[in-house]
Amino acid sequence: MDQEMTQVLDEHADTPQAAGFVAINYITCTPDYRQRFEELFRTRAHAIDRMPGFLGVHVLRPQREGEPYLVVSYWQSEAHFRAWLRSPEFLEGHRRGFEDLRQAKERGEEPPMHSDFRTYEVIAR
């Protein structure tokens, strides 16, 4: 690798640009939960920020009605991501969302959101 390229990668070493692995959670909300959902993310716990290998996250609101929100998380490696899934930080970062799901279930209501995640390897940048 030439010196210029090494420099570019170094400068972005702790940013999403350097990610080798990406996990995307696709979340569909009921229409009346959207405002609450966005509020939860605006005031998120930031527990994940303490995890080794975590490089950043983008939360994307769909422009088209009915499509899922994307929570795009960037990692140095899959092992770093898997460690977060098993960590207390994962639960800390999801306390309020999981509590909303629990309460809806207790009231016998449909869940206010559905989530489905997929994982990706970065093959070009």
Interacting residues with ligand HEM (CB under 6 A): 23, 25, 27, 37, 40-41, 44-48, 57, 71, 73, 93-97, 113, 115, 117
Cβ 14 to ligand HEM shortest distance, Å: 16
Q: Which is nearer to ligand HEM, 55 or 73 (CB)?
A: 73
Cβ 95 to ligand HEM shortest distance, Å: 6
Helices 34-42 & 95-106 angle (0-180, nearest 10): 150
Q: How many residues does the chain have?
A: 125
Cβ 90 to ligand HEM shortest distance, Å: 8
Residues 6+ apart with CB under 8 A from 69: 26, 27, 28, 29, 37, 59, 60, 61, 62
What backbone phi and psi angles, to 5 degrees, belong to 32?
-80, -5
